[in-house]
Amino acid sequence: MIKENEDNVLTTQEACHYLRISRPTYLKYLYLGRIKGAKAGKGWKVLKSELDRFLKGENGHPQAA
């Protein structure tokens, strides 16, 4: 079963609203790789599950043992 809420694709505007941050801050996080997204046309697309991961403070990289 697919988790519909976590697999939603958000636009830059929707992601900024969800995170409650400004567009420049959001774009900075994308360019730094703190948020993983895909450039689609003139804008960025990101999964809601990725934003939830970011909010939890997870870096998305496996930890070295």
Sketch the domain layout of the chain as residue ranges: 9-55
Give the pLDDT confidence score for residue 24 in this predicted structure.
Answer: 97
Predicted structure pTM score: 0.77
**pLDDT per position as a tens digit, 16-31:** 999 999 999 999 999 9
Hey, which residues does 9 pair with through a beta bridge?
47
Are the CB atoms for 49 and 7 separated by under 8 Å?
A: yes
Asked whether residue 2 carries a pLDDT value surpassing 70, the answer given is: no
In the chain, what percentage of residues exceed pLDDT 70?
80
